[in-house]
Amino acid sequence: MAAGVAAWLPFARAAAIGWMPVANLPMPIAPTNKNKHQDELIILNVSGRRFQTWRNTLDRYPDTLLGSSEKEFFFNEETREYFFDRDPDVFRSILNFYRTGKLHYPRYECISAYDEELAFFGIIPEIISDCCYEEYKDRKRENAERLMDDLEDNKDSKLPNMTFRETMWRAFENPHTSTMALVFYYVTGFFIAISVITNVVETVPCGYMPNQRDIPCGERYTEAFFCMDTACVMIFTVEYLMRLFAAPSRYRFMRSVMSIIDVVAILPYYIGLVMTNNEDVSGAFVTLRVFRVFRIFKFSRHSQGLRILGYTLKSCASELGFLLFSLTMAIIIFATVMFYAEKGSSSSKFTSIPASFWYTIVTMTTLGYGDMVPKTIAGKIFGSICSLSGVLVIALPVPVIVSNFSRIYHQNQRADKRRAQKVQKARLSRMRISKSGSSSAFLHSKRNGLNQSLELTGSLEEDQQLKKTTSLLESQHHHLLHCLEKTTNHEFVDERLYEQGYMQTALQNFPSQSPSLSSEEGITGTCCSRRTKKSMQPLSATHTHSHTHNLQELSALHIQCGERQALNTSRSSLNLMSDESGSLNCKSSGLVTTAIITIPTPPSNNSRASPDAPPPPNPDAPPLPNPGNDVVKISAL
């Protein structure tokens, strides 16, 4: 129940008078406000700064330090105030939480100091309201990462117990860990650069042979280039094999992007080795050399920025895809139009629609090579429209990619996003739990027997003892819900039990065999002021329909028993009584509970039970010595 509406509880209770004429059962007794001090101001002295508030304000959240009796530990007798030796600035937010029901996180506060204060005052951070929650979570994550980085740095220097393989893997992943790793890092980087430069220089024409045209350097110094290439590929192969050996999960390593790039980088060389002298496939051999350019992607291990760029493109894939699609549509439309417009002119380069694609693309990207030019007037008009619209269409994707890149750059890693999503789910579930806590609190207190069904004729003494554990507000709220149960003559159960009961009632459509009793329950109940709370929990499949029957029989037996005790057939007493089935007194509650628990009977027994139901009982009959057993017998037949 939210805090603010605690002030409206008196109104809700007063409005419950509207149910009274409709109810057929008498209502339970209201919990009394024993310590009825008028609403008083209390002073909270936090490190010298005095805050004052009503006592009721603090009582709204009884599971925090200020709302519970825990604050009495901080009560200062001489000054008649509560003294807390904590930060007064943060306390401001905490007190506002009691006042308004919303917890805010001030931006200037340090996150760990704030967390400590929340922990001290017993407030869970998940209830920070939505306006401040993002900020709080971001700061917390940054802090956690910083702590983890510190931890890792410390960790790296220790850990003597890692195997050689693990050391190697860590050296590969974090070059800063040891000197060897750093050396290895720079050596591989150097050789990647050498390899790329070699590939480039290979194609540069250098020098003149006296009677031939200039040849590229690659053909002039073939051995030198071949040696360089071999050396680089050897280094890369060794590196790849070492990584493969050190990887914790070889299969996963082999599937990763970086290792695929490695393989693609070195494979052409080996393929080339295998088929050097075969003239037929030399064409294919040449093509394979193109793949050597993939060696440049090996640099992405060395550069964080490159990785982020790659990730950005991958995450923008949907936007880029949509853009490509709309571009394609535009190109097709304009190409068609240009083709038909230029069809008439002679010697037109627009020989077909696919041929016009080239013109459209060149025009829309404002390149304008000029190799294809419209000659008709219509063609020129449509051509100009094409180039104008091209500017707009091309300008659209750029902000998308830029914004995506900056967004990702700020968010940093994809792992963090996933972590944040998990935390969001956890947060929502915790909030849901605390919200549903109010409804389950009622059921919970019923289970604990705190909601003794006190009719107006019942006794008050038992009630007093049991009320200590719940706050007054809670007990009043529970009393309200209890009145509603009485008005409608149905009980709240929680979902699980409801599902059970529902499915079992569906399974066994057992007609009620003594309809008269059930319908007259209310009336006979009123007369005899006996209440059988229909709160039997279906403990097993057999009991669901036995309940109504048992109730009727048991109600008869209650009357026989002659007890005027208030009945408590709530679930907890079911649990309690099962432990003490030996010590039965003639408490009607005991009767009901043990009867239900000790019977593992199949449903067929009920058919035998009902005919044996006792006739309308004689209230003057003497109490049976151990009616529990009788009840058990009847139901166990």
Partner 1 sequence: MPPASMLIILELFCSSCKDSVEDELELSAARHRPEALEQLEAQTRFSRKELQILYRGFKNECPSGVVNEDTFKEIYSQFFPQGDASTYAHFLFDAFDTDHNGSVSFEDFVMGLSILLRGTVQEKLNWAFNLYDINKDGYITKEEMLDIIKSIYDMMGKCTYPTLKEETPRQHVEIFFQKMDKNRDGVVTIDEFIDCCQNDENIMKSMQLFENVI
Binding positions for partner 1, rule: CB under 8 A:
1-2, 4-5, 7-27, 29-30, 32-33, 38-39, 54, 326, 329-330, 333, 389, 392-393, 396, 435-436, 438-439, 456, 477, 480-481, 483-485, 487-488, 490-495, 497-498, 501-502, 505, 522, 526, 534-536, 548
Please identify, using beta-carbon distances, which residue of 134 and 495 lies nearer to partner 1.
Answer: 495
In angstroms, give the least distance from the CB of 508 to partner 1. Answer: 13
Please identify, using beta-carbon distances, which residue of 46 and 480 lies nearer to partner 1.
Answer: 480
Per-residue DSSP letter, 210:
T
Q: How far from 267 is each of 226, 259, 262, 280, 302, CA to CA, in Å?
A: 15, 12, 9, 20, 21
Distance CA 389, CA 363 (A): 10
Per-residue DSSP letter, 52:
E
Please identify, using beta-carbon distances, which residue of 409 and 498 lies nearer to partner 1.
Answer: 498
Tokens found for residue 318: 């949907």
Of the candidates 407, 448, 635, 460, the one whose C-alpha atom is nearest the C-alpha of residue 29 is: 460
In angstroms, give the least distance from the CB of 603 to partner 1. Answer: 17
109: three-class secondary structure by DSSP: coil
Of the candidates 305, 200, 310, the one whose C-alpha atom is nearest the C-alpha of residue 258 is: 310
Distance CA 251, CA 132 (A): 44
- Strand spans (E) along 24-167: 41-46, 49-54, 75-76, 81-84
Q: φ, ψ for residue 450 (rounded to 5)?
A: -75, -20
Distance CA 466, CA 311 (A): 62
In angstroms, give the least distance from the CB of 539 to partner 1. Answer: 13
| Amino acid (1-letter code) at residue 286 | V
Q: How far from 137 is each of 15, 97, 153, 256, 500, CA to CA, in Å?
A: 42, 18, 24, 31, 40
Distance CA 56, CA 54 (A): 5
Please identify, using beta-carbon distances, which residue of 386 and 559 lies nearer to partner 1.
Answer: 386
Please identify, using beta-carbon distances, which residue of 142 and 495 lies nearer to partner 1.
Answer: 495
In angstroms, give the least distance from the CB of 482 to partner 1. Answer: 11
In angstroms, give the least distance from the CB of 101 to partner 1. Answer: 9
Residues 6+ apart with CB under 8 A from 472: 31, 33, 59
Please identify, using beta-carbon distances, which residue of 380 and 534 lies nearer to partner 1.
Answer: 534
Please identify, using beta-carbon distances, which residue of 135 and 491 lies nearer to partner 1.
Answer: 491
Three-class SS of 243-298: HHHHCCCHHHHHHCHHHHHHHHHHHHHHHHHHCCCCCCCHHHHHHHHHHHHHHHHH
In angstroms, give the least distance from the CB of 397 to partner 1. Answer: 12
In angstroms, give the least distance from the CB of 21 to partner 1. Answer: 5
Q: Taking CA 468 as the corner, what is the angle to CA 466 and CA 470, rounded to the nearest 5 degrees? A: 100
Please identify, using beta-carbon distances, which residue of 403 and 413 lies nearer to partner 1.
Answer: 403
In angstroms, give the least distance from the CB of 386 to partner 1. Answer: 10
* Sign of CA pseudo-dihedral 78, 84, 88, 91: negative
Please identify, using beta-carbon distances, which residue of 170 and 534 lies nearer to partner 1.
Answer: 534
In angstroms, give the least distance from the CB of 360 to partner 1. Answer: 13
Please identify, using beta-carbon distances, which residue of 19 and 285 lies nearer to partner 1.
Answer: 19
In angstroms, give the least distance from the CB of 28 to partner 1. Answer: 9
Q: How far from 400 is each of 132, 313, 365, 396, 411, CA to CA, in Å?
A: 28, 11, 18, 7, 16
Q: Taking CA 50 as the corner, what is the angle to CA 49 and CA 52, rounded to the nearest 5 degrees? A: 150
Please identify, using beta-carbon distances, which residue of 19 and 184 lies nearer to partner 1.
Answer: 19
Please identify, using beta-carbon distances, which residue of 448 and 581 lies nearer to partner 1.
Answer: 448
In angstroms, give the least distance from the CB of 483 to partner 1. Answer: 8
* Sign of CA pseudo-dihedral 495, 497, 503, 508: negative
Q: φ, ψ for residue 236 (rounded to 5)?
A: -65, -40
The number of angstroms, rounded, from the C-alpha of 176 to the middle of its chain's C-alpha atoms is 36
In angstroms, give the least distance from the CB of 580 to partner 1. Answer: 25
